[in-house]
Structure 1
Amino acid sequence: MHPRPDPVGPGQESVWDYPRPPSAEVTPRHVVVELGGRVVADTVRAVRVCETSHPPVYYVPREDVADGVLERAAGSSWCEWKGAATYWDVVVDGRRSAAAGWSYEDPTPGYEHLRGAVAFYPSRVDRATVDGEEVRPQAGGFYGGWITDEVTGPFKGDPGTLGW
């Protein structure tokens, strides 16, 4: 059973209006990710992925990720829509944030523009922003949604949401 969506105010959108399967569109929003006092990703051409019940996820083109900060992490997972995910550690000046990012190196048809772009877990980096607004991480540890004031929930990942 799905929950009742939170009220939507001016300039907001409900994650319950997002599609399933998810949309994936290039956005001109300014996306920045920082770790250890260093900008590890900075782009105005991220791919914004929106899926029912999830806050948006921003995938940064590999060319807009700082050189040398990504190291292949152990493990993988499978998305029924996008395919096999590859995980990445983010390493800055000897500080390692394990599995702080993920990518689809060979995405399924319809998601080809995600190829090689990296999404970052806001909970595993020091700071992530969209147009200067600090992002709040999606609960639960597995999902990497970016919660900003423009999106309303409730969001998958909180206790009791597994069946959504």
Structure 2
Amino acid sequence: MLIAVISDTHMTTPGAWLQDVYEKHLAPADALLHCGDITTPAVWSFFMQHPNFHCVRGNCDWDPALVDELDPMLSVKLGGLVVGLTHGWGPRPQVPEKVAEAFGPKYDLVCYGHTHARDWGKRRGVQLCNPGSLGESGSLAHITIGPDGALDCQFLQGPPRL
């Protein structure tokens, strides 16, 4: 199973750049996870075209439609694994530790954003993934769940947004 993970798009409208990234890197994935700061209902609606799209609210998601529809934390089952999804909070150096503590070891994978910095590592026994900022640097992650439940992460660099 292939999971595409993105975060921190910080866009008002989905333009040609985002369409290109979607077609090349996101649409082929079995699941698409967005770790918050999607910022507008237009961008949220754009990603809803993916048949297995999950998104959480970030600290920049102030639009009432997003506040009403998106939770700050989410749990989903993907490829037989329990996956947690959140944006993150607090001072950036402390975010991975806070996220790992909030979800705990019952999760096989926790994806988060907020820091705009890529992360693939374990904290408190929890495998964490931060894809970096899609909107700022074109960064995203592809996570593969193997037949035995093993996780592998590849960070991809899309073209910078102009």
Both proteins in one fold, TM over 0.5: no
Query: How does the TM-score come out when normalised to structure 1?
Result: 0.25
- Higher strand residue share: 1
Query: How does the TM-score come out when normalised to structure 2?
Result: 0.25
Bigger Cα Rg = 1
- Higher helix residue share: 2
